[in-house]
Copies of this chain bind each other. A is one copy, B any other.
Amino acid sequence: MTTASASLAALDDFRPDSPNRPAARWYFIYVALKEAILTHAIEPGTKLPEDELGEIYSSSRTLVRSALQALAHDRLVTLELNRGAFVAKPTRLEAREIFEARAIIEPTVAALAAQAATPADIERLRRHLEEEHVALHEGRNGEAVDLSGKFHVAIAEIAHQTVLTEFVRSLCSRSSLIVALYWRRRDAMCESHAHHALVDAIAANSPQDAREIMSSHLVDLLSGLDLSDRPPEPKKLTDILRRPA
């Protein structure tokens, strides 16, 4: 499982431990839930009850709660006091802001990556592209979306900017939720040519090209979404639905 191994790798160098220390147990739950959310295995808005998750991962609610809190900080989950955890449902406004943020950050990051990229980096990106391709053609759409996000993260990693990489990772994760909610044509998610062009520009060490390709790629992505301004969600159903049928 390619996504699983990728997650496992991320597990080492992440959060709750100094290097080479076994990760805290809640972190496994966190990773598992995160993957399920990012691959669209769980729908936005789904309730995530602590007891149930505890059974699934055969642990106490304590660990589940830690994992949920971490996911909440990632904005992949919403915690409502006394009501529990739900897979986040970014509003259209949030969605626009996320893509505006990406438009500000990622082109520059791509340019930095183009400056810093080594042949090994290029190799890695191309392998990644291949994975995406396979996932897409095998109809594993959720995973394809996830991989597509990880591609953007990979570029940030090449730029050797850990802080910005974290931001990109966060933005891509949230973008995955946005795609789940607002993607226009659910089927036929055309394999974006932009990713290939991006790798080429980075391989050629052309920062300016990379910047521009990334920039228009993000515009493309955005144009595939339905983020029109209308009822971003009827503010108060109570007021509107008085006397229904």
Contacts and interface: CB of A to CB of B under 8 A. Distances in A.
Interface of A: 15-18, 21-24, 66, 69-70, 72-73, 78-81, 94, 97-98, 100-101, 104-105, 108-109, 161-164, 167, 171
A56 to B, nearest CB: 21
A109 B101 CA distance: 10
Contacts of A161: 97, 100-101
A18 B83 CA distance: 10
A72 B16 contact: yes
29 contacts: A15-B72, A15-B79, A16-B79, A16-B81, A17-B79, A17-B80, A17-B81, A18-B78, A18-B81, A21-B80, A21-B81, A22-B81, A23-B81, A66-B69, A69-B69, A69-B70, A94-B162, A94-B163, A97-B161, A97-B163, A98-B163, A100-B161, A100-B164, A101-B161, A101-B163, A101-B164, A101-B167, A104-B108, A167-B167
A201 to B, nearest CB: 19
A78 B19 CA distance: 12
A109 B100 CA distance: 11
Nearest to A17: B81
Q: Which of A18, A81, A94 has the most CB of B within 10 A?
A: A81
